[in-house]
Structure 1
Amino acid sequence: MIELDIAGLSHTGRVRRTNQDRIAWESSPSGEQALLVLADGMGGHQGGEIASNLAVNAAMEALTPCLSASVDPASPDFVRERLDAAFLLAAERVREGQISEPELAKMGSTLVVVWSIGATAFIAHVGDSRCYLFGADQLQCLTRDDTVVQNMIEDGSITEEEAPRVPFRNVLTRAIGASDDATPSFRTQILAPGDGLLLCSDGLPEAVPESEWLGLVDDRQDAQERVDALLDQSLDNGAGDNVSMILLMLKN
């Protein structure tokens, strides 16, 4: 029987006055399925907070009922269709908010969703909030940032080492409510016992280098201890942005 351990947290950080991130998760009654959702909002006049809240609520509304259904992970078409529909609903809700309140016209949000079914995880995202694979001795980013800087890295204009020094490094090429294309990038990941999936806003990798993450969580066995350790280090390092994460672990 599959046993999942899930923990999450969201913190304003050391500099920002408000938290524009939002997280949510839910497990199925059987415990073999789980839904994890994280969003990082943007936009003035509380727009970021509103956009991320709308996006997460829409995704949970669209997908939570699916947790009670019997879904075959070997036939991912149903999952992909439901994830696409969830992102479309999130975009519609944010656009409705933009129209109803003109001062929120520039709001938008990233959105990353994991739907795990047994040992199979389906990952969908728009924006630069990420999903990482935590293995026994490896850390791998499973998502591609939808940013101008990532495009520049891929076309050779800059190197990865230069990216942190680019002043517009956080400018998104796609976001919920801020672009016409709400179709998420999609991938599947098979988890082995002991593996974990970490969803996070960009505040975490900006505060703590990825090279330090495995060392911070290596001697911690459960999900809550691991996210607490990552947050503590983020705050110790000054956390210039909101820091949010959800960690799902497949128990041994």
Structure 2
Amino acid sequence: MLVEQETAIKSQKWRQKHPSWWCLIIGLVAFFIMFIILMGGLFAFVNTSIGKNYIAAQIKAHTHDHIEIQGLTGFFPSHLNIAEIQFKNDDVGVWLDIKQVQLNWSPLALLKGNLTVQSLIAKEVNFEALPPKKVQEQGNVSKSERRLVNMPLTVDIQHLQIDQLFISDKVAKRNIYIAVDGQVKIRNLSQMMDLDTLKAAFMTKPKFRLFGPDKPADFQFGGKISGSMERKDGGDYSASLVPLHFSVILPQADQNSDKIHIYLGLGDKL
């Protein structure tokens, strides 16, 4: 008891001797308490239906109606269900349409520059067209302006399932229908989402090799895939669901490469 009284007296004397420091400590404690309360309230708000509708509206507004999200539900931000996501452009309209999405991921991994996704399932993905490049008055467009994602994130999707992936002949040379179930790794998301790189990848000729790449692959897939591609005569080439393991090195758009290098592996595991 005596020790506690002596401690209280010393503390009171210190506060009297250093009033400015005492006020600063009180202010910092109050700030952190208010910050925690504010973040807790914000977290609770975004996990209500009103909050999710607000998020969708803000995304649409800040992208000038170029990204529209409908039916956002689930536990924000790590476990989400989305009825439909539409990527739009003023010139071509809806160029990418994704339906019935289930996403489970780890937001904290973004702090290390990684996008880690435990599960990404989509009922339908329709890749209708590539959005045109932005045209400036001088006709010059920076590399960053042609990228849909500018952050150099590595991506690890531990389970990717797409029941139907449609790639229009406006993007590739033929209409392509694919079903996917596997794992994906991407070395640099901004490289994968570069419009010039995507266009070059779809329009170049694939060059297959059985040996591993001599440099880090831009894209890796391990799992099962099936699909069909329209022929010139109106028929189609089709393949049933088979195990695949492949790595892709994307063509460099600024080097006028005419081939995309695809390295085939054994089995369906990365």
- Normalization by structure 2: what TM-score? 0.27
- The answer to which structure has the higher strand fraction is 2
Query: Which protein has greater RCO, CA pairs closer than 8 Å, 6+ apart?
Result: 1
